[in-house]
Amino acid sequence: MKITAIESIRAVPLISKEEACKQFGFKSKDSLDVRIKEMEESGRYAYSVIRDGKLVLINYLALMDYLYHRRKLQQKNLIKHVPPFDPVKAARSVGWYGVAGNY
């Protein structure tokens, strides 16, 4: 008898504002709007926000990375100590690419 195992992790890299509020614990969309504006102005995250009329999709990994490094990115002296954004590293940190050592 032959047994085959398939491991699949489903992850959606783009999320809506409503979903982002739920997953990151924002009490209101206004707070999220401020973070999105800061993220776009930083110039660090290319193509992280997609807008089409009322539809707004946010790159989950970019938002997660921005929230993690936010305080450093806002201070002129600390911004140079923030590593460049690496979406693969961010995805692995949340388990999107499987377990460590199994790439």
Per-residue pLDDT tens over the stretch 32-50: 999 999 999 988 998 899 9
28 located within any domain: yes
Does a structural domain hold residue 78?
yes
Q: Give the DSSP per-residue string, 23-90.
A: HHT-SSHHHHHHHHHHHHHHS-STT-EEEETTEEEEEHHHHHHHHHHHHHHHSTTTGGGSPPP-HHHH
Mean pLDDT of 95-99: 66
Total domain count for the chain? Answer: 1
Q: What is the DSSP letter of 102?
A: -
Q: Model pTM greater than 0.85? A: no
Cα–Cα dist 51/90, whole Å: 23
pLDDT at res. 4: 67
Q: Is residue 21 situated within a structural domain?
A: yes
Structural domain of 35: 14-91
Q: Is residue 103 part of a domain?
A: no
Q: Is residue 9 part of a domain?
A: no
Tens digit of each residue's pLDDT (9 = 90 or more) over 72-93: 998 988 988 999 998 888 888 8
Q: Is residue 81 part of a domain?
A: yes
Is residue 25 in some structural domain? yes
Structural domain includes residue 46: yes
